[in-house]
Amino acid sequence: MSELAILGGPAAVTIPLLQYNSIGEKERQAVAEVMQSGCLSAFYGSWDENFLGGPKVREFEAAWAERFGSRHAVSVNSNTSGLFAAMGAVGVSPGDEIILPATTMSATAVAPLIYGGIPVFADIEDDTFCIDVDSVQANLSDKTKAVIAVNLFGHPARLHELRTLCDARGIFLVEDNAQAVLGTEHGRNCGTIGHIGVFSLNYHKHIHTGEGGVCTTDDDELANRLQMIRNHAEAVAGPAGVTDLCNLVGFNFRMTELSAAVGLAQLEDVKSHVARRQAIGRRLNVGIAGLDGLTVPTIRDGCEHAFYNWTLRYDEDVLGVPRSTFTKALIAEGFPCYEGYVRPLYQLPLFQHRMAIGREGFPFTLSERKYETGMCPVAERLYEREIITLQCCAYQVDDALTEQFVLAVRKVHRLCEQLQERSKSQAAGAR
């Protein structure tokens, strides 16, 4: 193949690209059994035997705790809900500071705001894309209540190091583990190293229930508070004999019996679901390693990468064309990628205008923290110029298609001079 597809040549990828579908007969049968029972949810917002939900929810939570090696698993209806509950459970109060990475899904930063907490953005590592420990340390203050570590794209943050740091400071470590199911650091599952871990069961994750989430913790008190915040805490605190009422303003974050039934079926096959993604990531790493101007994802020693996303770093200075041009060429070849991930969150209007809860700027009125461009230079550089992402969990990819993905990237890299000539011609025509 001597001509790029974007210039009229044949595409490198010829196998049809299909959406990944992990729902099979096992899940359909599980849902049918719940439907036949007539009990689609058994939660009551009162202090009785139904406060903790129905039989499938409890079975799912027990199975999750056993599978991941956690003392407690508390199901919720989304990872976002789990993050909200986690912030409430650790006692975030107005003016408390929560350190979190600049690059993550927006819910990670919104969760502290619900309780009046102040998000403080730390930079990220340019090889793993996870929160930088040195940046965390630089942002610590006497107002720091917790650190949220995001195991981004499936790679563990420096969790043991962060847990040691947090324990020494008497603050909490919460893991946003939406993307790293079965990711590990030094043999421990991501989501179980912090004081609380939060998992996602959203439809495009490794395993899913459509929408859903799970919080894990080894702390009995935190588990109790997570359960209460999930299910109308204000109504049950009195009869439950709870005296610490901080943040026991309840929500309805409850999982249905249907979702729990699907979750049980998916959990049985979690290893194979994750292994599919890992096979894609590892083969792409091997097939593309060593190409000038392209850096494949790092896997830090002692870590297992879950490969929610496969994230390439692009060097425009080496390859001589803008990242956008290279990305469009990859897409034309049939490699389904996109530029960047998310803009550093402090650049969102919410933070730029310091306007969140109500019309007076709460909780930013309690803080002098600034949200300025340049505060997390690595996160900004990666977003603006370097990251090219393939969402491994989105597609049905077998070995043959993975090989064609490798060929597509290598082809665009090999014929990059064609892109350079095209860029020169377009520039000349614009003059």
How far separated are the first and last CA of the chain, in Å rounded? 32
* Bridge partner residues of 189 (DSSP): 184
Q: At residue 428, does pLDDT exceed 70?
A: no
pLDDT above 90: percentage of residues in the chain: 96
Task: Identify the CATH number of the domain in which residue 218 sits.
Answer: 3.40.640.10
Residue 364 lies in a domain: no
Q: What is the pLDDT of residue 1?
A: 59
Phi/psi of residue 118, nearest 5 degrees: -110, 110
- State yes or no: pLDDT of 4 exceeds 60: yes
In a domain, 382, yes or no: no
Within a domain: 84: yes
Measured distance CA(358)–CA(63) in Å, rounded: 41
Residue 196 domain-assigned?
yes
Residue 282, helix vs strand vs coil: helix
Q: What angle do CA 293, 345, 195 make, to 5 degrees?
A: 100
Q: What is the pTM of this model?
A: 0.96
In the prediction, which pLDDT does 220 show? 98
Residue type, 332: A
- Say if residues 149 and 135 touch (Cβ distance below 8 Å): no
pLDDT single digits (tens) 307-320: 999 999 999 999 99
Mean model confidence pLDDT for the chain: 96
- Whether the CB-CB separation of 246 and 116 falls below 8 Å is answered with no
pLDDT of residue 430: 59
pLDDT at residue 431, as a whole number: 54
pLDDT score, position 424? 74
Return the pLDDT at 223.
98
> In angstroms, rounded to a whole number, what is the distance separating the alpha carbons of residues 299 and 292?
19
With a cut of 80, say whether residue 429 has pLDDT above it: no
Average pLDDT of 133-148? Answer: 98
pLDDT of the residue at 37? 96
pLDDT at 158 over 90: yes
Quick check: is 428 in a domain? no
pLDDT of residue 422: 77
DSSP state of 71: S
The whole domain housing 250 covers 25-269
Q: Which tokens sit at 397?
A: 């990819």
Say if residues 214 and 75 touch (Cβ distance below 8 Å). Answer: yes
Residue 131 lies in a domain: yes
Q: Are 362 and 356 in contact (CB under 8 A)?
A: yes
Domain tally, the chain: 1
Please report whether residue 34 resides in a domain: yes
Q: Which letter does DSSP use for residue 135 in this model?
A: H
Long-range CB contacts (< 8 A, 24+ apart) of 130-138? Answer: 130/101, 130/155, 130/156, 130/157, 130/158, 131/99, 131/100, 131/101, 131/157, 131/158, 131/162, 132/101, 132/378, 133/158, 133/161, 133/162, 133/165, 135/376, 136/99, 136/162, 136/165, 137/165
Lowest mean pLDDT among 239-248, 300-309, 418-427: 418-427
Task: Check if the beta carbon of residue 68 is closer than 8 Å to that of residue 216.
Answer: yes
Examine residue 136 and state whether it is found in any structural domain, yes or no.
yes
Residue 423 has a pLDDT of 73
- pLDDT tens, residue by residue, 241-285: 999 999 999 899 999 999 999 999 999 999 999 999 999 999 999
pLDDT at 427: 61
Neighbours of 269 (CB within 10 A): 15
Rounded Cα distance between 273 and 24, Å, is: 13
